[in-house]
Structures are given as structure tokens and as C-alpha cells.
């Protein structure tokens, strides 16, 4: 499991969530999900992986923020999840006290590269 091989010090630089949180969030269980996420120390189980890159940088920066969505099953149109993904990330930032605004969130690119499955099925 990836989280077991990353040094603990490095893990503190990341935020990670089990895809169950997002599935419940999309089903409009927003308050419950945000409460569970806030309560849990470890937010770790088909998978989707949303990677938030350079969120501490300005949107105008050449290497500014972007989001990567990886989907292990490659079925359906992952782009259909974009509004919920953006709302989910914005709510997490609001909960953490960050000053990310909705209009800023909409300008952050959401990239969906194709996943090479054998890399993740070691």
C-alpha cells in the first residue's frame, strides 16, 4: 500500500482521502462527509485518485495549481464529475480556513491523464 512506504514526515505534506468520501459527498451527504473528514486523522481502499498540485501557488504562476484525476476503471466520462470535484475541494479548503474562492477554483485546470493499469497493480 502506497501510504505504508512513504516516510511519515512526507505524509504530513499531503492530504489523502478514500474515494468513499467523495462518493458520499456526491450523493449529497455533504454535512456528514465533512464532519467525518474533520474527525478522522487518516483519510485512507474500483479507485479514483485526485491529486492537488501546487495549491500554495498563485493561479497566474506558470507552475500554478492544477488537479489530476486518475480513474482505475477508465469507464464512463470522468469529466462528468468535475462540478462535484470542484465543490468538494472548495469545501475542504473552506473547512481548513483557506481563502480559496469559487471563481478561483473554476480557473484551476482539472487534468485527466490515461492511467496505465499495470503500474498500479504490482
Domain boundaries, the chain: 8-120
Per-residue pLDDT, 49? 80
pLDDT, tens digit, 9 for 90 and up, residues 38-78:
666 444 445 678 888 887 787 788 888 889 888 766 656 76
Inter-residue contact 47 to 69 (CB < 8 Å) = no
**pLDDT classification of 37: cutoffs 50, 70, 90:** low
**pLDDT classification of 3: cutoffs 50, 70, 90:** low
15 CB contacts (<8 Å, ≥6 apart)?
A: 43, 52, 92
CA atoms within 13 A on the CB side of 79: 5
Inter-residue contact 100 to 90 (CB < 8 Å) = yes
Amino acid at each position: 500500500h502506497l501510504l505504508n512506504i512513504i516516510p511519515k514526515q512526507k505524509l504530513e505534506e499531503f492530504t489523502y482521502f478514500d474515494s468513499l468520501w467523495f462518493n458520499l459527498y456526491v450523493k449529497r451527504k455533504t454535512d456528514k462527509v465533512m464532519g467525518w473528514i474533520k474527525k478522522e486523522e487518516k483519510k485512507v481502499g474500483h479507485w479514483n485518485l485526485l491529486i492537488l498540485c501546487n495549491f500554495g501557488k498563485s493561479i497566474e504562476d506558470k507552475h500554478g495549481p492544477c488537479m489530476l484525476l486518475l480513474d482505475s476503471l477508465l469507464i464512463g466520462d470522468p469529466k462528468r464529475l468535475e462540478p462535484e470535484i470542484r465543490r468538494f475541494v472548495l469545501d475542504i479548503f473552506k473547512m481548513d480556513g483557506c481563502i480559496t474562492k469559487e471563481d478561483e477554483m473554476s480557473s484551476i485546470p482539472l487534468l485527466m491523464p490515461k492511467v496505465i493499469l499495470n503500474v498500479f497493480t504490482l
